[in-house]
Amino acid sequence: MTDMTPASPTPAAKPKLRPRPQVMKLTDAAAQRITELTKRADSEIVGLRVGIKNGGCAGQSYTVEYAHEVRPTDEVVEDRGVKILIDPKAVLFLLGTEMDYKADKMQAQFIFNNPNQTGACGCGESVQLTAAKI
């Protein structure tokens, strides 16, 4: 006698997911400055939130602010012992960016070395960005 029970279906093979690229990287100087800012904040913070806002002569500018919580939609980047939270609307504009920190006699600021930047205004306050091609 032969077995007439149907063969159990084989599970479909799961597609291999490629690893997600890290949106941003930090230089040692940027990580050190973020650590300093975290220690001297008035209240407890989980890291810095980085984003893009519309405005300025070139059309867009970078934003950096204290992050008091991780939002469910944040892209979390942990690099060199510090945490950066990226606004989901900014991810494609920041993909591949290196965040640095420079200080001299006249100013101190975070610098964004962004491969998606296509232009900047003369005063250095705003930039033109295009979405990364992935």
Q: What are the pLDDT digits (tens) for 43-53?
A: 889 999 999 99
Tell me which of 12-16, 38-42, 73-77, 78-82 is least confident. Answer: 12-16
Q: Which of 81, 82, 110 is nearest to 97 (CA)?
A: 110
- Residue type at 129 in one-letter notation: L
pLDDT score, position 12: 66
Does residue 80 register a pLDDT over 80?
Answer: yes
**Residue 101: HSE in the Cβ half-sphere, 13 Å Cα cutoff:** 14
Pairing of strands 75-79, 47-54: unpaired
pTM: 0.77
Dist CA 30 CA 81 (whole Å): 11
State how far Cα 120 lies from the chain centre: 20
Q: Report d(CA 47, CA 52) in Å as an integer.
A: 17
